[in-house]
Amino acid sequence: MSAGRRPDVVVLGAGLSGLTAALMLQEAGLDVQVVEARGRVGGRIRSVPTAAGTLESGGATIGAGYRRVITAAERHGVGLVDATPLLRFFREQELVLDGGLVGRTEWPDHPANPFPERDRDLMPWNFARVLTERENPLDTPEDWLDPSYARRDVPLRDWMKGLGLSEAAIRVGYDLNPAFGRDAADVSALLVFFRAAFSASQRRAAPEGVVGFNLEGGATRLPERMAAGLGRGVHFDREVRRIEDDGRGVTVRCAGGSVYRTRRVVCSLPFPVLRQVALDPPLSGLQGEAVRELPSQPVTQLHFGVRSPFWEADGLAPSLYTDGPAGMFAAARPDSASIEVTGFTAWVMGDQARRLDALPAAEAAALVTREIESVRPAARNQLEFIGLKSWGADPFAGGAWATFRPGQVTRFAAAMRVAHGRVHFCGEHLATASRGMEGAMESGERAAREVLECG
């Protein structure tokens, strides 16, 4: 740390939650230093410019009701682009199930369709979302933390079985490329209800006809502009190793010898990262258990260029939703005004992501390519691997977003966001009423308020 006056607060992490807290504290008159382990801002937002357009690895599209994110974009001069025309393409996918390709028009009457009669028109990628919104016991997103709903903190699989669904319906309707956990038995139904309630609240808050926005120039533009407003800037390549609180102040020690002394710390590190940091005094009780045990979802993204429009040759939609290592193989388009496909991104989650993470990047790409080519002969030799991003293997992320196993919401949620002496915590995993980028900002605001209330 450079010589001079010690900062009032040191913020660990330059993602949206940390930057939100830092700017709020700075505006209140405090001297704030942000410390970041990477060589860039954004955390789990990562935009990569290429000749074919900007590739987004991580948070990208923002909900039309993301009040905090939209306000921050407007404040920092980042343009909003209506992504609604692009989002409709996510509904235009073909299904790959058990090694065979099933067209969208075939699915309602297909013998592999295990859904009950009223839901046979739903594609697998929509089934759990529609089901949990339709049958959601929560009235508002905040209800998921109300003790009266604790009995819902059970395996999602058990809840689905209670609705009369078969094992096959649960597998096809949730387990193929799970957003939370390894499968429906590994995630709390209460978390999935929270996501459904938040999605419903977003639609109610959205302008008519708008589903979501992209950020002009790429999602990273927002954290970059936010960081530019910091008086002290961001200190990069500072991996935190130890946090010491002596009751009068806090000392932060980083790899390489950098040391920061401050009155208070705001820590936005995801729990898989915080596990690697020594705290003195150590975390204890339920808060300590939460940091050690709360999982984060493995998500691996593989980006591909395309040599020719092979989908025109086979007459199928460009995108595929698979139960194999390609996950959701989604067509990428340069902007919301264009229907031109410039490449593909494979979004792979859960155990399939872990499978890819165990391979060198080139081998992982070859495995995904073989899966696509095996069901779509027209795609042979038409895909060109560009790059891979694994959030599960990222040492400064440990996963793309937090997930809760059955019982963990009621066990950990209240305890895990409590300040530990002079150390305050934020991050999307600690949001109470929002998810994603909006949740990150919500938690940053809460942590900043805590610091200000302490004086």
- Cβ-contact 141, 434 below 8 angstroms: yes
Instruction: Say what angle helices 67-75 and 16-27 make with each other, to 10 degrees.
Output: 60
pLDDT per residue over 326-374, tens digit each? 999 999 876 655 678 889 999 999 999 999 999 999 999 999 999 999 9
Looking at residue 165, what is its pLDDT?
Answer: 98
What lies within 8 Å, CB to CB, of 454 at 6+ separation is: 264
The pLDDT-based confidence of 119 (bands split at 50, 70, 90) is very high
| Tokens describing residue 411 | 């066990």
- Cβ-contact 206, 172 below 8 angstroms: no
Check pLDDT > 90 for residue 324.
yes
Name the phi and psi angles at 315, rounded to 5. 75, 15
Nearest to 270 by CA among 396, 116, 184, 432: 396
Check pLDDT > 90 for residue 82.
no
| Tokens describing residue 290 | 């939460």
The pLDDT-based confidence of 87 (bands split at 50, 70, 90) is low
Q: CA distances (Å), 79 to each of 19, 41, 215, in order? A: 19, 19, 6
Check pLDDT > 60 for residue 206.
yes
* Cα atoms in the 13 Å half-sphere on the side-chain side of 291: 25
The whole-number average pLDDT for the span 154-167 is 98
Provide the mean pLDDT of the chain. 94
Sheet bearing 93-97, strands edge to edge? 100-102, 93-97, 319-322, 328-332, 343-349, 299-306, 383-390
Check pLDDT > 70 for residue 393.
yes
pLDDT per residue over 51-78, tens digit each? 667 778 888 888 888 999 999 999 999 9
Check pLDDT > 90 for residue 208.
no
Check pLDDT > 90 for residue 454.
yes
The whole-number average pLDDT for the span 302-307 is 94
